[in-house]
Amino acid sequence: MSSTQTQPRAAKLTFKSILSLPFRLCNPPPAVTKVRSCGVTPVLKVNLDDVLERKHLPPLGLKDFEASNSR
């Protein structure tokens, strides 16, 4: 399982590219692929039939906790 890695291309730094760096950092180009979150988010395949059969319940909301406290 050996993979050969190549060196990245060398880039010439110009005065203009250095001055444009803050703008480029604040305004990145749009993502090419779908971006998930920075945290650990599992990728799930959920079928519509499973949702209709209530196999996948919605996440708990604030009302769920308020109902349990008032008992």
Q: Is residue 58 part of a domain?
A: yes
**Domains held by the chain: number:** 1
Q: Is residue 1 part of a domain?
A: no
pLDDT at residue number 45 = 81
Q: Is residue 25 part of a domain?
A: no
Distances, alpha carbon 23 to alpha carbons 15, 31, 43, in Å: 14, 17, 33
Radius of gyration of the chain (CA): 24
Tokens matching residue 44? 């799930």
**pLDDT tens, residue by residue, 33-70:** 666 666 666 677 888 888 888 887 777 777 777 765 55
The residue behind tokens 């209530």 is 54
Instruction: State residue 11 phi and psi, 5-degree precision.
Output: -110, 140
Give the residue with greater pLDDT, 11 vs 22.
22
Range of the domain at 66: 46-71
Quickly state the pLDDT bin for 15 (edges 50, 70, 90). Answer: very high
Length of the chain: 71
